[in-house]
Amino acid sequence: MGQYIAPLRDMQFVLHELLDVTAELKALPAHAELDADTINQLLEEGGKFASKVLFPLNHVGDREGCQLDPATHEVKTPTGFKEAYRQFVDAGWPALTCDPDFGGQGLPIIVYNSLSEMLNSANQAWYMYPGLSHGAYECLHEHGTPELKALYLPKLISGQWTGTMCLTESHCGTDLGLLRSKAVPQADGSCKITGGKIFISAGEHDMAENIVHLVLARLPDAPPGTKGISLFIVPKFIPNADGTLGARNTITCGALEEKMGIHGNSTCQMNLDDASGWLIGQPHKGLNAMFIMMNAARLGVGMQGLGLTEVAYQNALVYAKERLQMRSLSGVKAPDKAADPIIVHPDVRRMLLTAKAYAEGGRAFSSFVALQIDRELNHPDEAMRKDAADLVTLLTPIIKAFMTDNGWIATSEAMQVYGGHGYIAEWGMEQYVRDARINMIYEGTNTIQSLDLLGRKILMDNGAKLKKFGALVQAFVEENGTDDAMSEFITPLADLGDKVTKLTTEIGMKAFQNPDEVGAAAVPYLRVVGHLVYSYFFARMAKIALAKLDSGDNFYKAKLATTRFYFARLQPETAMLIRQARAGAKSLLDLEAELF
C-alpha cells in the first residue's frame, strides 16, 4: 500500500534557507525565542506521527468509510481513526498554535503549516476532523464573547471537543444569501435554530466527546441576502457552566453523503430542530465572522492539495525506479535486467517532475503565506502588519485554487506512472486522484476563488495588493538581473511579471464596459498569477542552490534541476492562459442557452 516519508529536508530548506524563519520570528515578540532546533524537532515528531500512525489508516478509511446508525444518529468512523485521534490529542498537537491564555502552546502558524502538509499527505480524510476544529477555534477566538470563549476554547484547543462549520443548504450552494435556516431569540439569551445543512464535513463522529457547530441562520428581523445572516454556536451537547456535558442538543445527522473520495471523513446532512444556539459576533454580521473560518478552510484545502501532491509523487517515484518495462530509447541502462526501469523514459520523467515541482513550489509558497499570517498577527509595526495582511488577502484564493488544481494534475500524472496498476485500488494511487478532486470544489469552487482574486482582491482596489507582491518580484529581479548564472530564471520571471501587469490592466478596462469580462477571464488569470508566484519562489530557490552546488550535497543539484524543469515545462503554460484570458466573454456568451 505504498509509503509516506515526511519531506523534512525540503521543509527545512524552505524554512531556514529560503525564508530564514528564525530570524523573521525574532521580530515577533510572541515567537522571538523559538529556535531552528525546536522547529526541526517538532517537525520530526509530526512526521513520525504522520507516517507511522496516520498513513497506515488511509487505505482503511477509504475502504471502510463511515457508518451512520439511523436510530441514534451516531456515526462510527473507520477502524483506528478514534485511537489515532486520541494519540494526536495526548501529544498536544491540537494546541500547537493556539492562545496560551486558553491552554494553547502559542507557536507560530508557519510551524503548524508544515505539520498540516504532513498530516494531509498521510491521511487527508482523518485530518479533516481536527483541521476544521482549528478554524472553529480561530473564529470563536476572534468574535466570541468572553463567556463563550471561556466555555468552549479550552476544550477545542485541547482536542477534547471538535468543531465544524455549517454553512450551505441544499438549495443555495455557494450563494449563502439564499439560506433559510431560522433563529428565534429566547428569553435566556439563546436562540432556537431550525433548518437543514448539507455537505458538513466531520458533522457527526465518535472521535471526540462533543462537536461544536458554527451555524449560519437568520434572525426574525433579518434583511434579505447576505446582509441578513447571523452566526451561532450550536453544540452537540450543551455544556454546563463548569464545562461538563449537559443535555443532548437537537442537531443531528440525518444522512451521510455517498462520495467519490475522502470516504474516511463523515460528510453529513445536519438537521436542526429548535436546536439551542448562541450568537457569535453582531446580529446580521455572521458572514463577516464566518469568513475567518472560511479563510482558514481555504488555506487548509490548499494544503490538502499539496499533501496529496507530495505523497502521490513519493509513491510514483518508488514505482518508477522498480518497474521494468522496455529499453531506453538511447540504449540499455540496466543490462543485468530483462528491461530498464521506467524512470529512464523521458515522459515518465516529465510526469514525476511535474508532481515534484508542484510539491516544492507549493511548499515554498504556502510557507511564505503562513509567515505572513504570523507577521499580520504579531508584528509590532502596524505598517508591517498591514502589508502582511494585504499579501495574505491576495494570495489566499491562489493557495486554494492553484494548489488544488496542481494537486489534481500531479495525482493524475502520478497515477499514470503506474500504467494499468494505477487504476487498481490495491496500489493506492487511484484514491489520491479521487480525494484530490474534491479539493477543487469545496470551500468555494476554484472558479469562485478566481472571481474573488480578480474581482475583489485586484480590480476592486485598482491592483494595490497585487502591486505589493509585484514589488517583491521587482526587487528580486533588480537585485539579480546582472547575474549571468541567474538569467535563465530572472528573464522568464521578469517577463511574466510584465505580462501580468498588462493583462490586469487590459481586463480591468474591458470590465468597465462589460462585467462578464471578469467572469470570462478569471480562471485562466488566476493560473497565470499562480505561475508568477511560483516563478518568484523557484527563482529564489535557484539562487540558493547555485550558491551551494559545490557543497557536495546533491539536494541542491536536485533543487536546481527541478527549478529548470519548472521554467522549461510548466511555466510556459502561461502563454496559452494569457490568450484564453484575453479571448473575452463573446465566445462564451454568444450561443443562446436554449441552443446548447
Residues annotated catalytic, as ranges: 443
Cβ neighbours around 447 below 10 Å, total: 16
At position 496, the amino acid (one-letter code) is L
Q: What is the 3-state secondary structure (H, E, C) of 134-181?
A: HHHHHHHHHHCCHHHHHHHHHHHHHCCEEEEEECCCCCCCCCHHHCCC
Nearest-angstrom CA–CA distance, 394 and 401: 12
Query: Looking at 378-525, which runs of residues are DSSP E strands?
Result: none
Residue identified by cell 533543487 is 559
At position 36, the amino acid (one-letter code) is A
* Range 167-173 contact pairs with CB under 8 angstroms and sequence separation of 24 or more: 167/197, 167/216, 167/290, 167/294, 168/197, 168/198, 168/199, 169/195, 169/196, 169/197, 169/198, 170/196, 170/198
Nearest-angstrom CA–CA distance, 387 and 31: 19
Query: CA–CA distance from 177 to each of 213, 222, 374 (Å)?
Result: 20, 11, 32
What ranges in 49-108 are assigned the alpha helix state H? 55-64, 81-90
Grid coordinates of 336: 543485468
Task: Name the β-bridge partners of 192.
Answer: 184, 276
Nearest-angstrom CA–CA distance, 130 and 97: 13
